Amino acid sequence: MAQDQANEPARVFNMYKKMLLIRAFEEAAGENFHAGNIRGSVHQYIGEEAIAVGICANLRKDDLLTSYHRGHGHSIAKGADPRAMMLELFGRVGGTSGGKGGSMHIADFSVGMLGANGVIADGCTISVGAAQAIKLLKQDKIVVNFIGDGGINRGPFMESLNWAKIYNLPVLFVCENNQIAATTTTKSVTAGDGIAARAESYGIPAITIDGNDLLLVDSTSARIIDEIRSGSGPQLIQAMTYRLRGHFAHDKALYRIPGEAEAALEYEPVRRTETWLAEHGIPEKDLARARDEADRQISQYVDDAHAAPWPEIAEAFTDVQDVGAPEMGVS
Amino acid sequence: MTEMTYAQAARLGLKEELERDPKVWALGEDLGFEGGMAGQYKDLQAEFGIDRIVDTPISESTIMGAAIGAALAGTRPIAELRFSDFAMCAVDELVNQAAKARYMFGGQARVPMVARMPIGIRGGIAAQHSQSPEAWYAHVPGLVVVTPATPSDNRGLLKAAIRCDDPVVYMEHKGLWGLVGEVNENDVEPLPLGKARIVQEGSDLTIVTWAAMVSVVEKAAIKLAEEGISTEVIDLRTLWPWDRDAVFSSVIKTGRMMVVHEAVQVGGFGGEISSEVTEHLFDNLKGPVKRMGGARIPIPFSIPLEASYMISEEQVVAKARSFFS
């Protein structure tokens, strides 16, 4: 994207629609989790949508992306089919992984989305390896590794920073700093000057931005992704944000300081983008239509998921491995 | 045929695969200057370049994790972990990511990588450099586990592991690096994974074994033959999948079976084989299935203490004799 396109209303409106789709998806996922239609766990991305959307708006379809347990937003932003994702959350035929992975293992390799991940920071090492493959195959793709602030105290994150730098790999680390890891504030368990300082200590350029400012995420990542594709080596964006919901959908976030979440609503990205669009000539009726369209679309996917068949039992025994594959009924 | 060591044969197999497929590459510590602990990568960096024989930092999690990412992104990496003991720093990546990516992504992904992690006692390297944890990985759905016992097998099985689309845990035995054997000087086809080698045919007793214990059992079988006990020796070659057909047909023939492995006996893979044979061939058995494995102690350092852990030819002979007394 050219820098001067960053604040064009038509582009921002398109990104806004993507954010609405993620928001509607996450609301529906939460509701159906509470209703018992979705089992396991659901980690909602509500309040953080501008990061995934702003970054992915600057990626090509063949660029690669890795995510973590809060991965629905990254997948939709990268171009995964939200209908197939909803079916996956319901564990049904037609899900992105045929119902074998669920929420924490959402993936769509057809759009370069190499998987959410149930293990914190494991996406980091996978990302640097994928970038090494890109170099070996002489491709001009890049890899974006999304990680939460809770991941920065795991060894694989620090190993991967070092690794990406020494081999000058085309990796963009995006730390979505919502400031709390499950129920523990990251600040209270992290030494030193924080995430950006850690990257800089490895010689990796790092920038801290307001991750709820869609236009800023868009313009910043446009520049950085361009640099990485041109051979700058790895870079890191620390995107400050706020998780408007609990760690997972049943978490009532009772550890929050009273009033904190309410105050954060003022800075949440969907509303902010909406205000900006209204100020830049997009009529309210268009914004309302976009909201309705996202809700309608996701609600249709929920209906589809309810109606979709359960997988055949035999599916449990497929795609384990080629050599020494299991046989159904044989332990 | 020509003679070469187990390490040289592995190097030959790797070189052939690097030449055959530009997507094959290796990453690990000390592959360039050192050429690997036993020369199994010797001079390959000079020939194939620093991007295909990659010297890495001491970052086991990332050696393994990067191999997984690179496999997902279309290449065929070989992650060299040097010691199965060090590979334990990367068990998460191997077990939670490599073994499960294909399954949990519903078949969208393949992880064609080799995790090379030598096992076993090599004389005085003690508790953190001598372990044989092969049973751990046989327990994990999604993984293939290979334990070559001869120079020729270490070439043919490594080639098969590199061409396999599943993640393969490739466990050379450090004590065998210097073992000399006959190897075909011409390029050969990979050996099939999951096919045991009948080291020696026999009619009275089946001994199932793998890795460094193969040669110990082979020698024991010669002594047993002198005593009139005809022993069939089976080198499993791969623990997952293990060659049930070969083991079962042998036990049906002999009616007696013993499993011998260097790994700690408690929870060892010998238990799995013994249990399967007992459950399915009980009527064919002339006596209880027996196991021989290491004591449940860390591998000690001092010469006599280390020797006390190891299974000797004499011990195998004595245990085999006990079937007939």
- pLDDT string in tens for chain B (325-residue length): 999 999 999 999 999 999 999 999 999 999 999 999 999 999 999 999 999 999 999 999 999 999 999 999 999 999 999 999 999 999 999 999 999 999 999 999 999 999 999 999 999 999 999 999 999 999 999 999 999 999 999 999 999 999 999 999 999 999 999 999 999 999 999 999 999 999 999 999 999 999 999 999 999 999 999 999 999 999 999 999 999 999 999 999 999 999 999 999 999 999 999 999 999 999 999 999 999 999 999 999 999 999 999 999 999 999 999 999 8
Please state the φ and ψ torsions of residue A182, each to the nearest 5 degrees.
Answer: 55, -100
Task: Give the residue numbers spanning the domain of B111.
Answer: 2-183
- Is A198 among the domain residues? yes
Residue A87, chain B, CB below 8 Å: the answer is no
Give the per-residue pLDDT at A329: 76
C-alpha–C-alpha distance, residues A130 and B287, integer Å: 53
C-alpha–C-alpha distance, residues A267 and A228, integer Å: 30
Does B222 lie in the same domain as B156? no
DSSP class per residue in A255-284? TSPTTHHHHHHTT-HHHHHHHHHHHTT--H
Residue A191, chain B, CB below 8 Å: the answer is no
On whether ipTM exceeds 0.85, the answer is yes
**Chain B nearest-CA residue for A94:** B106
What are the tens digits of pLDDT across the range A157-176? Answer: 999 999 999 999 999 999 99
CATH of the domain at B292: 3.40.50.920
What are the tens digits of pLDDT across the range A263-304? Answer: 899 999 999 999 999 999 999 999 999 999 999 999 999 999
Does B131 lie in the same domain as B34? yes
Does B179 lie in the same domain as B125? yes
For chain A, where are the alpha helices, taking DSSP H only?
9-34, 49-56, 72-78, 82-89, 122-136, 155-166, 195-201, 214-229, 260-265, 269-279, 284-307
- Is B192 among the domain residues? no
Q: Residue A330 pLDDT > 90, yes or no?
A: no
End-to-end CA distance of chain A: 54
- Is B188 among the domain residues? no
Q: Which residues of B touch A122 (CB under 8 A)?
A: 65, 92-93, 96-97
Three-state secondary-structure class, residue B116: strand
Q: Which residues of B touch A101 (CB under 8 A)?
A: 104-106
- Is B247 among the domain residues? yes
Closest CA to A78 of A103, A97, A53, A105: A53
Q: Which helix (H) or strand (E) holds B48?
A: helix B44-48
Give the per-residue pLDDT at A4: 58
Q: Which residues of B touch A129 (CB under 8 A)?
A: 62, 65-73, 77
Residue tagged active-site, from B129, B173, B261, B280: B129
Please indicate whether, in this complex, the C-beta atoms of A114 and B56 are within 8 angstroms of each other: no
Domain total of chain B: 2
Q: Smallest Cβ distance to A136: which of B51, B68, B92?
A: B51
- Is A325 among the domain residues? no
CATH of the domain at B164: 3.40.50.970
Domain end point (choices B158, B183, B208): B183
Please indicate whether, in this complex, the C-beta atoms of B96 and A119 are within 8 angstroms of each other: yes
Distances from the Cα of A140 to the Cα of A53, A168, A234, angstroms: 22, 13, 14
Window 64-83 of A, Cβ < 8 Å to B = 64, 66
Residue A114, chain B, CB below 8 Å: the answer is yes
Q: Which residues of A touch B104 (CB under 8 A)?
A: 97, 100-101, 105, 107, 115
- Is B79 among the domain residues? yes
- Residue B1, both tokens: 């045929």
B302: Cβ contacts below 8 Å, ≥ 6 apart: none
Domain total of chain A: 1
Q: Which residues of A touch B109 (CB under 8 A)?
A: 107, 109, 114-115
Residue A108, chain B, CB below 8 Å: the answer is yes
Give the per-residue pLDDT at A23: 98
The stretch A318-329 carries a mean pLDDT of 93
Please indicate whether, in this complex, the C-beta atoms of B241 and A324 are within 8 angstroms of each other: yes
